[in-house]
Structure 1
Amino acid sequence: MTDPALDAGTTRERAVASLVTARDRTTLLTSCVDGPDLTAQHSPLMSPLVWDLAHIGNQEEQWLLRAVAGQEALRPEIDSIYDAFEHPRAERPRLPLLPPEEARRYAAEVRARALDVLDRAAFTGTRLTEAGFAFGMIAQHEQQHDETMLITHQLRRGPQALTAPDPEPVPLFTGPSEVLVPGGPFTMGTSTEPWALDNERPAHRREVAAFRIDTTPVTNGAYQAFIEDGGYDDPRWWTAEGWAHVRRAGLTAPLFWQRDGRQWLRRRFGVTEVVPPDEPVLHVCWYEADAYARWAGRRLPTEAEWEKAARHDPAGDRSTRYPWGDAEPGPEHANLGQRHLRPAPAGSYPAGASPLGVRQLIGDVWEWTADDFLPYPGFRAFPYREYSEVFFGPEYKVLRGGSFAVDPVACRGTFRNWDLPVRRQIFSGFRTARSVEGA
């Protein structure tokens, strides 16, 4: 029998480490540029960086200090200012935002009190506190906003502000281009992952017919072939909505790409460079991913197919937490946590492959799937409807797997992301699949 004191100690250590890691990253992202860059809106799609900073503190105050600890509000007058559902991103620069130094002091005070609450937490009694869920939720929330702030840095014009080492070079991948995933049922979602969010729950059996899926995400080189073959000029490859969007938005290539003579260049965090052909393609919307798949005679995988490829271990007929098993992600498994500021070359991280040999399912690029964002059977919103439930429906498409900008605390085999099919500023790519005849 497990000692409850040991469980509490392990949970506390994990929660502290997750919160500290998130705050270190927040500090980096908000200290590498000066005040004007913090208060400016670098794109109408994104908030000013200073809004994200104070919003992180406000969410932490509301959930850890007020909801968990029952403390009185520190700054109740700012709740509405930092309510993401009350104020769309385009409106946020016009709000009476806390200046950068005041936002930092507020977030720091909240964090100091939250760590004191965590030091005395028992992790029992309510669903919010059980297994440290509220602390894990807040760590994930901060890391999600850190990824959002990194997107803002990519959109920001001006000199380079962030640096990181490149991924280790690897030989050109020469393995099989696709992997067969046998048909049959598997367990999708989770009912046991302690920090899983509501849209990942509950675990349920799902029948999936046999299919083949790309061994690696689609690369820049492969996507360039689509461009050179006139992919953006041929309505055969696009849905009606996608073709209308291409015409309306004037799309000709992934976001941040530009042609220079016979080669393609891209802008990446303030640096212009030649597009590397062996990296997974990045900054494409769902419509572009779907059109490429059609052009290639394939399709996007369904969300269930993606998760089966990522989690199903046929040897034990069980679903694992990650493609490589149940162990927490390490640097040998995946490109996560802003350790690098780019995807790793296709075929990297063989230690992170699934039992069937599918690579880079976690990290590098978010992968568009074919499906709308919908609830699982038996879904229950927790702890608030606005995290998932209000987004369910045909307007949003599901992305899976995480990107190089995702921290491990907010990335696992069951984690679900979603966005509008026109979005390209996110760190999104894709892989393709095809059905098996007669399956």
Structure 2
Amino acid sequence: MTSARALLRRHLERARARTTALTSIPETELVRQHSPLMSPLVWDLAHIANQEERWLARTVGRAAPIVDGIDDLYDAFRHPRATRPSLPLLGPEEARRYAEAVRESTWKVLEHNDFDDDLTRDGFVFAMVAQHEQQHDETMLATHQLRQGPPLLDAPPAPRTGTPPPQVRVRIPAGEVEIGTSTDPWALDNERPAHRVFVPEFEIDAVPVTNGRYLGFVADGGYSRPELWSEEGWRHRCEAGLEAPQFWRFDDDSGWTRTMFGKTVPLHPDEPVVHVCFHEAEAFARWAGGRLPTEAEWEKAARWDPATGRSRRYPWGDDDPTADHANLGQRHLGPAVVGAYPRGASPLGVHQLIGDVWEWTSSPFEGYPGFRAFPYREYSEVFFGDGYRVLRGGSFGTDEIACRGTFRNWDLPIRRQIFAGVRVAYGEGDV
């Protein structure tokens, strides 16, 4: 298991380096709540460490608590985000020291573990902890997007040139496809088990919906036409006063702009639209003459290989993502233009299914047939139901360890602070 230990260590180190970068900011910014939708960043920092301690130091390593009496403070189910600033949280330096102490314990557990039970086999629990940290890193990145003030983060710009595919829509033929996985050792419980699903023929956009295309919806009065919205969606649009994607602004002199991480720039027409809620995505799809894809349709478009009939790990194959395949891992602080990653296309020619922006589907979040909660119900099962909608594909802020063709994200249909966009499907099931 030497090579497995080295790989797990690299994943854990990469996650911690990103956490450190996101929290190496003035202490006043760490402890402030930048939005009631989000925790103070200092809470996320200690929560990441507490989750790691619970599963690795204590559950696997059977060690005593490193800091007594803090589990309740960092239990995400006990305290809503809006109330977390009132808790007696660890201060920035205390949280950093706690995280360092936990990580030292983790290295000892990793070095001496035999990987010989359900929790540790193939390094699962270590990978689960790395995925958890990277998921919270993306959440912290969203907090940075919501904060006011000058930029605190920097990264090279995403690609600004690309070659859009020749076809606007791609036809996906009818047939059975394998959804989910029973073999990926680091897949989480809601991705399991693999099962066969018949998917009728449909078409899907070859690229995510761009800012320029979405502007057509705005200009055509899309936000003032209730016939384009569901009853629930129209009610939310009115109550929230939605008129454009979050962080968009129109000025008579400069036209449409968007603000990303403290910088306001002209709206790029060829970038995928980002920061739209499910209701906006659904209304746009209806305006475009289509609908949102189901989760099974999205996964078939992303994983199915017509030459072999099997489902691949990623659109391009089974190899891990590289910088040539997808915009992942916070290498950039925004989506790349459409057509920027031709090597990441699926065999049928669907582009940028992985990275750039999460894509809303029409499917509620439910367990697959034969689902078994593992290793705890609070990761997936407690969220099952019609109240949440599934998102697929990851964003520029998603790390590769938390982004596979089978990976499932979910959120409330009103959420816009996440890095979510739109891809439209057409055909049977149109609404």
Answer yes or no: is 1:14 the counterpart of 2:35: no
Distance between the aligned counterparts of 2:164 and 2:189, measured in 1? 37
Per-residue deviation, 1:173: 2.0
Answer yes or no: is 1:84 the counterpart of 2:76: yes
Distance between the aligned counterparts of 2:316 and 2:165, measured in 1? 21
Q: Percent identity?
A: 62
1:256-271 maps to which residues of 2 (within 5 A)?
Answer: 256-261=247-252, 263-271=255-263
CA contact (8 A) 2:162 2:338 kept: no
> Counterpart amino acid of 2:169?
E
Match of 2:210 in 1: 219
- Please tell me the root mean square deviation across aligned C-alpha atoms, in Å: 1.0
CA contact (8 A) 1:41 1:48 kept: yes
1:100-139 maps to which residues of 2 (within 5 A)?
Answer: 100-124=92-116, 126-139=117-130
State the 4+ residue runs in structure 1 displaced beyond 6 angstroms: none
CA contact (8 A) 2:165 2:349 kept: no
CA contact (8 A) 2:165 2:206 kept: no
Residue 205 (structure 1) aligned to one of 196, 199, 203: 196
Distance between the aligned counterparts of 1:379 and 1:417, measured in 2? 16
CA contact (8 A) 2:163 2:340 kept: no
Answer yes or no: is 1:350 the counterpart of 2:342: yes
Residue 229 (structure 1) aligned to one of 220, 238, 253: 220
Answer yes or no: is 1:410 the counterpart of 2:402: yes
Match of 2:35 in 1: 43
Distance between the aligned counterparts of 1:358 and 1:84, measured in 2? 37
* Long gaps (5+) in structure 2: none
Distance between the aligned counterparts of 1:174 and 1:200, measured in 2? 30
> Counterpart amino acid of 1:268?
M
SS in 1 for 2:69: helix
CA contact (8 A) 1:191 1:202 kept: yes
Per-residue deviation, 1:75: 1.9
CA contact (8 A) 1:172 1:278 kept: no
1:262-301 maps to which residues of 2 (within 5 A)?
Answer: 263-301=255-293
Match of 1:4 in 2: none
Residue 341 (structure 1) aligned to one of 318, 321, 333: 333
Distance between the aligned counterparts of 1:393 and 1:381, measured in 2? 15
1:148-186, CA deviations, whole angstroms, 9 ceiling, x for partnerless residues? 000000001010111111123324525211101111001
Per-residue deviation, 1:408: 0.2
1:353-404, CA deviations, whole angstroms, 9 ceiling, x for partnerless residues? 0011100000000000011001100000000000000000000000000000
Answer yes or no: is 1:67 the counterpart of 2:59: yes
1:244-302, CA deviations, whole angstroms, 9 ceiling, x for partnerless residues? 00110000000001111172111110011111000000000000000000011100000
Answer yes or no: is 1:34 the counterpart of 2:26: yes
SS in 2 for 1:86: coil
Answer yes or no: is 1:380 the counterpart of 2:372: yes
Distance between the aligned counterparts of 1:82 and 1:70, measured in 2? 20
Match of 2:145 in 1: 154
Residue 426 (structure 1) aligned to one of 405, 418, 427: 418
Match of 2:16 in 1: 23
Per-residue deviation, 1:76: 3.4
CA contact (8 A) 2:179 2:406 kept: yes
Per-residue deviation, 1:436: 5.7
Distance between the aligned counterparts of 2:162 and 2:413, measured in 1? 34
Residue 195 (structure 1) aligned to one of 186, 194, 197: 186
Per-residue deviation, 1:72: 1.2
SS in 2 for 1:108: helix
Match of 2:89 in 1: 97
| TM-score normalised by length of structure 1 | 0.96
Distance between the aligned counterparts of 2:108 and 2:86, measured in 1? 35
SS in 2 for 1:78: coil
Distance between the aligned counterparts of 1:148 and 1:187, measured in 2? 30
Match of 2:359 in 1: 367
Distance between the aligned counterparts of 1:96 and 1:30, measured in 2? 19
CA contact (8 A) 1:212 1:436 kept: no
Match of 1:182 in 2: 173
Between Structure 1 and Structure 2, how many residues are aligned?
Answer: 428
* Long gaps (5+) in structure 1: 1-7
Q: 1:171 to 1:388 in 2, by over 3 A?
A: closer
| TM-score normalised by length of structure 2 | 0.98
